Amino acid sequence: MAEMMELIAQAENDLLHTYNRYPIVFDHGKGVYLYDIEGKKYLDFAAGIAVFAFGYGNEYYNNALKTQIDKLLHTSNYFYNVPAINAAHRLKALTGMDRVFFTNSGAEAVEGAVKSAMKYGYGRDGKDDHEVIALEHSFHGRTYGALSVTGNEAYRKPFGPMAANVRFAKMNDIDSVKALVSDRTCALIMEVVQGEGGLIPAQQEFLEEVRRICDENEMLLIFDEIQCGMGRTGSMFAFENYGVRPDIMTLAKGLGCGVPVGAFLMTEKAASLTLVPGDHGTTYGGNPFAAASVNAVLDLFEQSDVLAHVRDVSAYLEAGLDSLVQKYDFITGRRGAGLMQGLIFDRPAGDVIKKAMDLGLVIISAGSSIIRFVPPLVISRENVDEMLLILDKAIKEVFG
């Protein structure tokens, strides 16, 4: 414990204090478990915030990256590289999109998507005063452009004015969207399932109406699939559950399973009026190493029926979480989709999360009163049972 406390003290002295971290220093992972530097074992139901889809130490994934390290890590986008070419082609086939741009993160993918929408508006009517509609309680990232479309005023206010002209509608309230549409509106951006905003899935009718409004008003529809995509809801992408397709979409997190990589993708219609050489760029985005991680992840999806597994185990997880709702009056509900679930408390739940970590379970929040469950997609029913036992014990110890 002394060594861990010394390392934490050193980190607090050296790192910019932008996170209130839990007092754990992790050393390695295996399967769906993490181990701290003292050897303590933790069941991981956070997956690095929905990143490690296939868990830790996957041999195929690790070997693919080791092979690429020995070949080529980086060349810049002045040149082509085989892993990026292959990854882009495969993502096109999976998503139905026509163009791919690789980034280093989800926030950068959102930046590119919003920037593309603004350029689309300019190409549409030659004006440079366009607006974007986003949704309240959304989360798209903390870089300046991504923050502009994040629907939490507390996050935006200290950094205003924002980079983009954004107006905020309400999730699943189509009248609130209609009230904001004008001839200046060039796009609407939304998470198909809101993550940090409270694990709120879009309703079928809402998505269909949003799509219709965008079509009627020559607006682009942007889906942020950074957290809810890459198999997390039981389909490869959450929008597939609705049969409603975007014009632009963003990906990250599970796309690279730990390697920092994101992407924004768009239809040819959107691409024809958006970014051209000189409009956008990245030094590292889509380099051979990052693209190799994408290809390895896509290989793993192809090699196993992980989507069917997600559908099965998520139903089991939902039932287990619902049992806690029934057991405790102060847990008021559960919501989410697939392996992206939340338990809603009528009080702050932070102490439960801390106690669970003391007991060897990693879980995270989505706001002060919601516990979020975004485990590796490869968790088993036995892992769910183990999690529920630890969580139940943590709840009892905190709330009696």
Domain borders along the chain are: 2-58+305-399, 72-303
Where are the alpha helices (H) located in the chain, listed in sequence order?
2-14, 47-50, 59-71, 82-95, 106-125, 144-148, 153-156, 174-178, 204-216, 268-271, 288-303, 306-327, 350-358, 381-399
The answer to whether 366 and 200 have CB atoms below 8 angstroms apart is no
Mean pLDDT, all residues of the chain: 95
pLDDT tens digit sequence for 305-331:
999 999 999 999 999 999 999 999 999
Grouping H, G, I as helix, E, B as strand and the rest as coil, residue 393 is: helix
Average pLDDT over residues 99-110: 97
How many Å apart are CA 125 and CA 24, to the nearest integer? 53
How many Å apart are CA 126 and CA 24, to the nearest integer? 53
1 pLDDT exceeds 80? no
Please state, for a pLDDT cut of 70, what percent of the chain lies above it: 100
Grouping H, G, I as helix, E, B as strand and the rest as coil, residue 333 is: strand
How many Å apart are CA 353 and CA 398, to the nearest integer? 10
* Confidence band of 4 (pLDDT split at 50, 70, 90): confident
163 pLDDT exceeds 90? no
5 pLDDT exceeds 90? no
Q: Output the pLDDT for position 286.
A: 93
* Confidence band of 341 (pLDDT split at 50, 70, 90): very high
The answer to whether 369 and 347 have CB atoms below 8 angstroms apart is yes
Average pLDDT over residues 361-374: 96
pLDDT tens digit sequence for 200-221:
999 999 999 999 999 999 999 9
Q: Output the pLDDT for position 8.
A: 87
* Confidence band of 367 (pLDDT split at 50, 70, 90): confident
How many Å apart are CA 47 and CA 55, to the nearest integer? 7
Average pLDDT over residues 341-358: 97
The answer to whether 361 and 390 have CB atoms below 8 angstroms apart is yes
Query: In terms of CATH architecture, what is 2-58+305-399?
Result: Alpha-Beta Complex (3.90)
Average pLDDT over residues 27-32: 97
pLDDT tens digit sequence for 71-87:
999 999 999 999 999 99
Single out the residue of 134, 198, 203, 197 nearest to residue 164, CA to CA.
134
Residue with tokens 């919501």: 335
Q: In what order do the strands lie in the sheet with 370-373?
A: 331-337, 340-345, 370-373, 364-365
- Count how many residues are written for the chain: 400
How many Å apart are CA 1 and CA 70, to the nearest integer? 37
The answer to whether 133 and 185 have CB atoms below 8 angstroms apart is yes
* Confidence band of 161 (pLDDT split at 50, 70, 90): confident
Q: Output the pLDDT for position 84.
A: 97
Q: Which of 41-55, 272-286, 341-355 has the lowest mean pLDDT?
A: 272-286
Structure tokens that stand for 234 in this block: 């039981």
How many Å apart are CA 201 and CA 196, to the nearest integer? 12
pLDDT tens digit sequence for 107-152:
999 999 999 999 999 989 989 999 999 999 999 999 998 999 999 9
Virtual torsion, Cα 30, 35, 41, 46, nearest 10 deg: -70
281 pLDDT exceeds 90? no
282 pLDDT exceeds 80? yes
How many Å apart are CA 139 and CA 1, to the nearest integer? 36
User: Assign residue 141 a region: left if phi > 0, alpha if psi is -120 to 50, beta otherwise?
Assistant: left
* Confidence band of 97 (pLDDT split at 50, 70, 90): very high
How many Å apart are CA 39 and CA 26, to the nearest integer? 9
95 pLDDT exceeds 90? yes
* Confidence band of 384 (pLDDT split at 50, 70, 90): very high
Q: In what order do the strands lie in the sheet with 131-135?
A: 99-103, 262-266, 248-251, 220-224, 185-191, 131-135, 165-169
How many Å apart are CA 262 and CA 290, to the nearest integer? 9
Please state, for a pLDDT cut of 90, what percent of the chain lies above it: 85
Q: Output the pLDDT for position 9.
A: 87
Task: Please report the DSSP string for 86-99 in residue order.
Answer: HHHHHHHHHH--SE
Query: In terms of CATH architecture, what is 72-303?
Result: 3-Layer(aba) Sandwich (3.40)
Q: What is the CA radius of gyration of the chain?
A: 21
